[in-house]
Amino acid sequence: MSRVGIVLISHSSKIVEGIKDLIGQVIQDVPIELAGGTEENDIGTSIDIIGKAINNADQGQGVLLFYDIGSAKMNAEIAIEMAETKDIKLVEAPLVEGSYVAAVESSMRKSLQEVYDSVVKAF
Amino acid sequence: MELQVKDIIQWFELTNEKIQANKDYLTSLDQPIGDGDHGINMARGFKEVVNKISTQDYENVADVLKDVAMTLMSKVGGASGPIFGTAFLKLSIAVKGSDSLNFETFTKGLEEAVNGVKQRGKATEGEKTMIDVWSPVVDYLKSEKDFQGDQIRKTAKQAMENTKEIMATKGRASYFKEKSIGHIDPGAASSFYIFEALAEVIKGGN
Ligand SMILES: Nc1ncnc2c1ncn2[C@@H]1O[C@H](COP(=O)(O)OP(=O)(O)O)[C@@H](O)[C@H]1O
Ligand SMILES: [Mg+2]
């Protein structure tokens, strides 16, 4: 059965790779897609990369987005407005801890709203 | 005068020239109060903008502005990408359907652009961002009846210089709190080039 997807957005590809490793130690069955850095792999964020990550993370159960600083949030909001699926939520929570909680909740086959509520409640 | 497709294209060509010529200066403004990439970001974005719009045939100004917006959003990298992208996207939407832009349509469109930026960045006047140049330019235009290049340039320049005294409360510069005072905001400086370029297009057309 499909699970709620997670997209990790950061200015640095290494940050999101590290978080995915961290979560991967515990959770393997949740779609986690990375949107770190720009197309040229410079420091920054990209609407296109975030958009692709949303598509890839979506198994039909919706997608939660976690982000770091500055332009990450604005680019995430624009990517959400442009995305095909409407079941997307941007989460105001610490990137590392928030996505960790979300991954655990999602692996328990909770719904998008349930996972979202758990994360928001935790912080 | 009315701004035609060719004028809008020239507006962005001139903006690009200014941004490329002042790339290091813009980056140096972003060093004390940011991460020192503003010139690099804007130079990358506007180069792509000119590449895009100079190879295309356009029937109306809104389509040019839309391509400008989408290119800036996807190519700039920093916060200035979604910010300037949103500005030109809102301007494009506001002037949809017009083959060319008269003063009134342009002024209304620019006001929509500023509103869009405020919404996108959750910012307002007095927070040391590009809004502190765009908003005074809109206020000036609303007090006028026709395009006057010199006055647009003067308003934008003064507004840019005024950002020096403001403490940043939005964007990356806000992490520097009172240390952000005494520096021109990088996005305000590139906004000055945008309006200086517009002023030159207007002067050429009058
Ligand atoms: N929330 C915001 N609203 C409006 N303008 C903003 C906002 N955040 C940043 N800016 C503008 O963007 C400029 C910084 O752009 P840039 O250096 O390219 O991006 P970053 O801050 O991501 O490094 C600032 O000087 C400011 O004018
Ligand atoms: Mg910067």
| DSSP letters for A3-50 | --EEEEEES-HHHHHHHHHHHHTT--SS-EEEEES-TTS-SS--HHHH
d(CA B40, CA B36): 8
* Model confidence at A1: pLDDT above 80: no
For the domain that residue B49 is a member of, what is the CATH number?
A: 1.25.40.340
- CA nearest to B205, candidates B46, B67, B9, B60: B9
Q: Where are the alpha helices (DSSP H) in chain B?
A: 5-21, 23-33, 38-54, 61-75, 80-94, 103-121, 131-142, 149-162, 186-205
| Ligand 1 atom, smallest distance to B191 CA | 27
Whether ligand 1 lies within 6 angstroms of the CB of B87 is answered as no
d(CA A77, CA A80): 5
User: What are the residues of chain B with a beta carbon less than 8 Å away from any beta carbon of chain A?
Assistant: 35, 37, 41, 73-74, 77-83, 85-86, 120-121, 171-172
Contact B91, B131 (CB under 8 A): no
DSSP symbols for A43-84: SS--HHHHHHHHHHH-SSS-EEEEE-STHHHHHHHHHHHH-S
3-state secondary structure of A108: coil
Inter-chain touch A46–B121, beta carbons under 8 Å: no
- Token readout for B31 is 């060093």
d(CA A27, CA A9): 19
**Mean pLDDT across chain B:** 96
Inter-chain touch A42–B83, beta carbons under 8 Å: no
Interface test with chain B among A74, A90, A92, by most B beta carbons within 10 Å: A74
d(CA B77, nearest CA chain A) in Å: 5
Calculate Rg over the CA atoms of chain A: 13
Task: Report the domain count for chain B.
Answer: 1
* Run of H or E including A91: none
The amino acid present at B169, given as its one-letter code, is T
d(CA B129, CA B160): 9
pLDDT tens-digit series, residues B19-31: 999 999 999 999 9
**Mean pLDDT across chain A:** 95
* Residue A85, pLDDT score: 87
- Domain containing B138 equals 5-205
pLDDT > 90 in chain B, percent: 95
φ/ψ of B29, rounded to 5, equals -70, -30
The alpha carbon torsion through B141, B146, B147, B150 (nearest 10 deg) reads -80
Residue ranges and CATH numbers for the domains of chain A are: 5-122 (3.40.50.510)
d(CA A49, nearest CA chain B) in Å: 9
Question: In 10 A of CB B165, how many CB atoms?
Answer: 11
pLDDT tens-digit series, residues B48-95: 999 999 999 999 999 999 999 999 999 988 899 999 999 999 999 999
Q: Is A60 exposed, middle or buried (0-12, 13-18, 19+ CB in 10 A)?
A: exposed
Q: Is B20 exposed, middle or buried (0-12, 13-18, 19+ CB in 10 A)?
A: middle
Q: How confident is the model at residue A6 (pLDDT cuts 50, 70, 90)?
A: very high
**Mutate which of B74, B114, B125, B130 for ligand 1 pocket (most atoms within 8 A of beta carbon):** B130
d(CA A122, CA B147): 55
Contact B181, B166 (CB under 8 A): yes
* Model confidence at B181: pLDDT above 90: yes
Inter-chain touch A43–B73, beta carbons under 8 Å: no
pLDDT tens-digit series, residues B8-61: 999 999 999 999 999 999 999 999 999 999 999 999 999 999 999 999 999 999
Q: What is the ipTM of this complex?
A: 0.81
Per the document, the length of chain B is: 206
pLDDT tens-digit series, residues B113-125: 999 999 999 999 9
d(CA B129, CA A98): 30
For the entire predicted model, the pTM comes to 0.92
* Run of H or E including B125: none
Per the document, the length of chain A is: 123
Q: How confident is the model at residue A89 (pLDDT cuts 50, 70, 90)?
A: very high
Find the angle CA(B196)-CA(B200)-CA(B202) to the nearest 5 degrees. Answer: 115
